[in-house]
Amino acid sequence: MPMPYDGVHLMSREIIKIKVGVGRVDAVAGAAEVTVVGVFSDGKGGAVFRKLDKALNGGLSQVLGLGDFKGEANTTAVVYGNKAIGARRVVMVGLGDRAKLTVDAVRQAAGRAASMAVDLKAKKAIFALHGDLPKKLRPEALGQAIAEGVHFGAYRWDEFLGKGNDKDGRPAAIGVVIAETDAAVAKALGEGVKVGNIMGEAQNFARTIMNRPANVVNPPSLAAEAKRLAARTPGLTCSVMEEKQIRAKGMGGLMAVGQGSATQPRLIVLKYSPARARGRTIGLVGKAITFDSGGISIKPSEGMQEMKFDKSGGVAVLGAMKAIAALKPPVQVYGIIPSAENMPGGMSYRPGDIVTTYSGKTVEIQNTDAEGRMILCDAIHHAVMLKCDVVVDVATLTGASVVALGEWRAALMSHSDRLIERIKAASEACGENVWHMPCGEEYLELMKSKIADLKNIGGKWGGACTAAAFLGEFARDVEWAHLDIAGVGMVDGSKKFGSPGSIGYGVRLLTTFVRNEAE
Ligand code: BES
Ligand code: MN
Ligand code: ZN
């Protein structure tokens, strides 16, 4: 069989490098291309704002007075330094309602400002955001959120833009210094920044892989990427099952979906094993369909290009494993990523096929486009075989979840109320939103087949819930939860942020969840 052509070597430039630190610099005197200060929608600036405003002879308050900028969330204004201060420009970023300020609002404002700084081609920026914020917000949490926000907002996915297309000339790297003169506060901020840099880097690593198209990322090349990550990451190992082993193990679901493509399926298993692991072993399972054409039950052509993002759950697991290995929580974690390409062809699985999955349960295929659950059921069973106590799967599983929740919340299903609460807590802490949906007996009924144990589609309605109920059948022996990220995983970030493509949803949520479980 001819080898598919892989275009990795065509990438023309490196992704922007981003680093956040804390410096004992004065926000007014500090030299930078951009200095960032936050403003609430009541228009009242804090101490840092007033100092900058005074040095600029009222240049900041004038903008507010004119009403050109009101401090509302997701807005910015630029004022030029004109040699009156150390920085060439001040970017005012809106923090919204003072009473409603959350750590996530700070993360978003930092992202907005960082995106602006990259658009202004800044190589160095000073952030004085935290100085004017209510004291009830802990400096560690602020440092982390600001660093995460900077990584998020400064990121650009432009590695395939040719050299002649570089008219904007964005900087190769941007360094952000959080200005703090108080040593104790600087230390606390720094602790948070360390975590934020790790989270932000892992999330952007995931975004880049999510964004890459299916002629570049296929199951073998994704597996190679996972191996490279493990090779350079202490504490992380990676083993990959190739087609022969997948077949020999009896992973009929993964085989069925993978067999229609010229690129063969893989089961990627990452393991993070700390020296002193305690408590329960966690399995993170992520769907990595590198392209979902629908297979024989082919999708309409409109919008099909978005189905390169159907690997986002698996790549979120990859990114989370990178962050977990760097943050070193004392708990053992497996990252299990079943990967296949869902294509129509002479070798494809068909509607009507009856597939025997790794667990031994049989599944009647009624629609080859319901492929995610077919690869996940084998991977979840593998997590059970590896003796995971807690299993969280994450997948761009159903259009129905997008209909229900839109683009800014993932659906969360589980049989365990405890796990629902734990994941909700992680969600609130990290700013990646979830919404609890059902997956109980009434939905499972719709997944039962007359000629096999299960079928792979339910009725017309409640598609996100029936899909989850199907997966839950393979996780009866463990505490399990499912995140359907179809809406948040496919959203085009350029609608809200600086870079086109993925927002890397799931990296922060899974990492935060694991860190909390280890406590
Ligand atoms: N990857 C898709 C889910 C999807 C659809 C994500 C739209 C984002 C946007 C999944 O494999 C799929 O095709 N699901 C089907 C299931 C159906 C055949 C039961 C769907 O949702 O239509
Ligand atoms: Mn599909
Ligand atoms: Zn899919």
For 77-96, the pLDDT digits (tens) are: 999 999 999 999 999 999 99
* Ligand located closest to 399 CA: 1
140: confidence class by pLDDT, cuts 50, 70, 90: very high
Give 72 or 168, the one with higher predicted confidence.
72
5: confidence class by pLDDT, cuts 50, 70, 90: low
**Letter for the amino acid at 97?**
D
Closest CA to 287 of 262, 265, 261: 265
Q: What was the pLDDT predicted at 2? A: 55
Q: Is the pLDDT of residue 1 over 70?
A: no
Query: Span 312-319, mean pLDDT?
Result: 98
Question: Which ligand 1 atom minimizes the distance to the CA of 400?
Answer: 21
Q: Residues 44, 123, 299, 496: which is the catalytic one?
A: 299
In a mutational test of the pocket of ligand 1, which residue from 369, 377, 405, 456 has the highest number of ligand atoms less than 8 Å from its CB?
369
9 phi, psi to nearest 5 deg? -65, -10
> Residue 361 burial (CB < 10 Å; 0-12/13-18/19+)?
middle
pLDDT, tens only, 251-310: 999 999 999 999 999 999 999 999 888 889 999 999 999 999 999 999 999 999 999 999
> Residue 123 burial (CB < 10 Å; 0-12/13-18/19+)?
middle
Q: 156-176: buried (b, 16+ CB within 10 Å) or exposed (e) per residue?
A: bbbbebeeeeeeeebbeebbb
Is the CB–ligand 1 distance for residue 486 below 6 Å? yes
Residue 86 parent element (H or E): none
Q: What was the pLDDT predicted at 498? A: 82
Q: What was the pLDDT predicted at 490? A: 85
280 is catalytic: no
Instruction: Give the number of other Cβ atoms within 10 Å of residue 148's Cβ.
Output: 30
44: confidence class by pLDDT, cuts 50, 70, 90: confident
Query: Span 109-113, mean pLDDT?
Result: 97
Is the CB–ligand 1 distance for residue 293 below 6 Å? no
Q: Which two tokens stand for residue 497?
A: 């942020």
Q: Which two tokens stand for residue 289?
A: 């369909």
Average pLDDT of the chain, as a whole number? 95
Query: Span 193-207, mean pLDDT?
Result: 98
Q: What was the pLDDT predicted at 462? A: 98
Distance CA 268, CA 258 (A): 14
373 is catalytic: yes
* H runs (alpha helix) in 100-251: 103-119, 139-154, 183-211, 219-232, 243-249
- The sign of the torsion formed by the CA atoms of 493, 499, 502, 505 equals negative
Looking at the whole model, is its pTM more than 0.95? yes
In a mutational test of the pocket of ligand 1, which residue from 292, 309, 363, 398 has the highest number of ligand atoms less than 8 Å from its CB?
398
| DSSP secondary structure letter of residue 456 | S
Residue pair 95/127 in contact (Cβ under 8 Å)? The answer is no
Query: Span 113-137, mean pLDDT?
Result: 94
Residues flanking ion ligand 2, Cβ below 5 Å: 292, 369, 371
Q: Is the pLDDT of residue 509 over 80?
A: yes
pLDDT, tens only, 215-245: 999 999 999 999 999 999 999 999 999 999 9
163: confidence class by pLDDT, cuts 50, 70, 90: confident
Per-state percent for the chain, helix, strand, coil, to nearest 5: 40, 20, 40
Query: Span 45-73, mean pLDDT?
Result: 96
Distance 322 CA to ligand 3 centre (A): 24
Helices and strands of the chain, counted as H and E runs? 16, 18
| Residue written as token pair 């399990």 | 480
Three-class secondary structure of residue 156 per DSSP: coil
Is the CB–ligand 1 distance for residue 369 below 6 Å? yes
Query: Span 28-41, mean pLDDT?
Result: 97
Is the CB–ligand 1 distance for residue 313 below 6 Å? no
Is the CB–ligand 1 distance for residue 463 below 6 Å? yes
Distance CA 26, CA 11 (A): 40
